[in-house]
Copies of this chain bind each other. A is one copy, B any other.
Amino acid sequence: MREVRVFAPATVANVAVGFDILGFAINRPGDEIVARLNPAFSGVRITAITGTGDKVLPLDTEKNTAGVSAQRLLHHLGQPETGVELEIHKKMPFGSGLGSSAASAAGAAVAVNELLGAPLTREALLYFTVLGEEVADGSFHADNVAPCLVGGITLIRSNDSLDVHHLPVPNGLHVAVVHPEIEILTRDARAVLSDQVPLSVAIRQTGSLASFITALYTNDISLLGRSLHDHMIEPQRKQLITGFDDVKAAALQRGALGCSISGAGPSIFALCDSGYLAQAVGQGMQAAFQQHGVESQLYVSPINQRGVEILSVTD
């Protein structure tokens, strides 16, 4: 039967200056999702989940981000009776702040869309992907799924209306992402955040954000570096990440443009103006974690401009 295999990349959300509104995709790690037509049943069934280590993801379609994303898409396309098998091959850590649930949701939507002859554009798949992501954390937000689907750096003006925009990527921009073996529950990452922001902090944060966007459009790497400061969220969340200050200091000392928490953490990203530098910066960050007795994985990547990739289609 017809089968589609896709790769859905990890993503870095928030990006220091854009809490809940900015995200970008990286080349590796990511998930592989396989969608296969199966006339023996109707609707979406998850037939395999691999790579979860000692953790468990739900096989129940309605509780799984990939399942919900695929199921809602089938309904929208008027094909709820079509039988689709989904295999989810996790090839990235989850609960890591790297958009694992978003990758599964986006990969499933693209795979099922392709399985049915690609009736929808990537942009049109966003809504179903966000519905899938919502199952994982209970909130309707596109800051991971949007860059995962379409690649690049994306801005979400409004999650309510999914008003999403593609931002330009400065030449040479690379990222070092370090995932420490620390567990942060999303609910803890939210719980440490005050529901109020001092006005003076909001003003500094908006100045950083506006100049970050300006730097992207003007390819101004120096301004990008001056802009990459999270005055609002990082000071509250960094306490959850052992060694954060030292890891960040190591990144900046080696020449990173900026360094902050990826998504809700514990992964930490550092933007750099070349791949060579990102490699050196990442190794410095790992060494700093090690000083605190924390093992980590390093991923070095340019900004991924492709989003979900179709690896194979077999009829």
Are B163 and A210 closer than 8 Å at their CB atoms?
no
> CB of A41 within 8 A of chain B?
no
Q: What are the residues of chain B within 8 A of A210 when measuring CB–CB?
A: 18, 21-22, 155, 157, 209-210, 213
CB within 8 Å of B: which of A174-226? 193-200, 202-211, 213-214, 217, 223, 226
Q: Which residue of B lies closest to A156 (CB)?
A: B207
In angstroms, Cα B163 to Cα A21, docked, is 24
User: Given known contacts A157-B227, A196-B196, A198-B195, is B211 in contact with A209 (CB within 8 Å)?
Assistant: no
> In the bound complex, what is the Cα–Cα distance between A18 and B206 (angstroms)?
7
Q: Which listed residue (B21, B198, B207, B226) contacts A203, Cβ 8 A?
A: B21
Contact (Cβ within 8 A) B203 A202: no
Per-position 1/0 for A8-31, Cβ under 8 A of B:
000000000011111000000000
**CB–CB B165/A203 < 8 A:** no
- A167 within 8 A of partner (CB): yes
Chain B, Cβ-Cβ closest to A160: B204
Assembled-state Cα–Cα distance A207/B206 (Å) = 10
Q: How far in angstroms is the closest Cβ of chain B from A196?
A: 4
Q: Given the complex, which residues of B lie within 8 Å of A213, measured CB to CB?
A: 210, 213-214, 217
Tell me the bound Cα distance from A206 to B19 in angstroms. Answer: 8
A209's contact among B193, B206, B227, by CB below 8 Å, is which? B206
Beta-carbon contacts under 8 Å, A223-253 to B: 223, 226-227, 232
Kindly list chain B residues whose C-beta atoms are within 8 Å of the C-beta of A297: none
Rounded to whole angstroms, the CA-CA distance of A10 and B157 in the bound complex is: 30
Q: How far is the CA of A209 from the CA of B17 in the complex (A)?
A: 12
A197 to B21, CA, bound (A): 17
Query: A158: CB under 8 A from chain B?
Result: yes
Shortest A133–chain B CB gap in Å is: 17
Q: Are B214 and A167 in contact (CB under 8 A)?
A: yes
Chain A interface (Cβ < 8 Å from any Cβ of B)? 18-22, 155-158, 163, 165, 167, 193-200, 202-211, 213-214, 217, 223, 226-227, 232
21 contacting pairs across A/B (C-beta < 8 A): A19-B203, A22-B210, A155-B207, A155-B210, A155-B214, A156-B207, A157-B211, A157-B223, A158-B226, A165-B214, A193-B199, A195-B199, A195-B200, A196-B196, A196-B198, A197-B197, A197-B199, A206-B206, A210-B210, A213-B213, A213-B214
Known contacts A22-B210, A193-B199, A196-B196; 5 further A-B pairs (Cβ under 8 A): A157-B223, A165-B223, A194-B199, A195-B200, A196-B198
